[in-house]
Structure 1
Amino acid sequence: MGWEIRLTDLERGGQTNRSFSQTTVRVGRHSENELVLQHNQISRVHLTLTKEGERYFAEDSSRNGSFLKRGKQWARLDGKTELQVPATIRVADWSIRVDYQAEEDWDKSVIIPAGHLVKRSESIMVFDLCESSRIASEDDHMAHHLKTRVQQLADPVLTEYGMRFFKGTGDGFLATFSSATRSVTAALELVNRIKYRNSRTTNPPIHYRISLHHGETWGISTGGQDIHGNDVNIAFRIEGVQKEAFPTALIEFPKMDRILCSKALIAEITQHEGNVFPSQTSEIGAASLKGIQDPTTIFQIHDRIDDSLRSPPA
């Protein structure tokens, strides 16, 4: 639980949902901010959101201003201003809807009005930044830097390939796509950008695990946006799977720096979407995943994309 932010790009369109567990969230151009916005009208630290006890504040430290919506009017923030959440703030070309979800004493998710459930068939991507705990124990600043760089690399790729839903997971993210083909090409493009970044820096490399699966998700609009369902659980289990889950693994596969996918995702691309799979794959085998009743057949996607098979951006 914590800050829930819906970022709307008013100039180019599109929305991104972000969740932050910490009580302070900085918004600005600098890479060390929790929410990074690149724009010539955005200051290095443009806006700071804080929770103090049961009160919520927004503090503007920019040159060009942040504007709080009050009724039908926009008022420029002057220093530290108390918020009545949910609130909407305008910075440069973005509208930021901010809310804060407090920890509940009981799980309200067990009682959800039927009208607030949205069922979709979509492709699910889970990304995990590996070794972040070890790096944080050695250099907390570097761990934060790597998480920020992952987000900076991922945001434009996910948007370009038609991301439908996004949620941060602390050390990574969960995203969905209406097209299975685009989910694969987005993953391959993200890996290309990570490799390019790793080759051009003296900082620790970004190590990753990416999983892709296609199935049904249930969207919950009550109290903020989220998705759930057995297929979401499968995607998370594929991300963390290791060789012990396979009674008989057909190939060796790496513990990290990999893209794994389900047989269901491949079938969606080749049978239902009628496309050629955008990269070479190798079957690993049927895995017994924790909390999943039936074995799941998993493939490794080799991260060399054939440009002639690349899916166009959304």
Structure 2
Amino acid sequence: AATRLLITADAGGSNGYRTRAWKTELAALAAETGLDITVCHMPPGTSKWNKIEHRLFSHISMNWRGRPLTSHDVIVNSIAATTTRTGLKVHAELDPDTYDTGIKVTDSDIDALPMHRHRFHGDWNYTLHPQPRDTTSAAKNPRSAGRPSPQPCTWRLRDPELTGMPEPALDELINQLAQKLDELREHRRLQQRGGERIRARGAGAKAKLTTADRVLATVLYLRKLGTRDLLAQLFGVNGSTLTRAVHHVQPLLAKHGYTIQPSTARFRTPADVTAFLANSSTAEIKSAC
């Protein structure tokens, strides 16, 4: 009568949190059994917290010590015969199936999984549902089928759940750094030109990121919400532009005594950020960008 299954796993190996085949096969198991499968990975370097290691494997090792493991039968029987005075019982059987190697799981395969990443470290904690993702909206609106996942508007990235600070505090930070950032930018352009301006300030190519966006992007980067490439997608620039912004803003943050604490939320795609913001209790929902 169970409807859910909880699995605790280490951070590495065949059941590691980075292993795509692990997630893909779990999704297949969820679809086959109808169970919601929740996985909680031990953080890297903390497998000593894994109770299974202490309560099961140690007794198995003691049970077969000194016995030559000469065949599969000896191994399976030694494991299955393990018991303790506190009531441990072990079931073991040999899996004779063969498993292909070298299977590639693409980004689109992972995106299609019915997987929900939890608010706290979604890379280590997630749930796979037995039903595929809802595609009814695409069916109702065929024009939307095949379009890239929706990306949140830049103003939505100011959400305190993402930045770790109220919007007034973020505005104060931007105002405090804006003048110095403009001065540094003007100084770099002076060095690139090798002389004074010929055209008036503001003429020519426009900056790809505004001063406010540069500060916001740096805050989100230091919050470790996702990769550099993900943040670049969210701001509509390439990775090099975002990296330059971080390199310019980060020293100023340190100089002014600002420490940005990492977030416990982790995102892999813009759609993950959009879904998170849609459920955010602090975000103000607006109808259009």
Structure number with higher helix proportion: 2
Question: What TM-score, normalized by structure 1, do the two folds share?
Answer: 0.24
Question: What TM-score, normalized by structure 2, do the two folds share?
Answer: 0.25
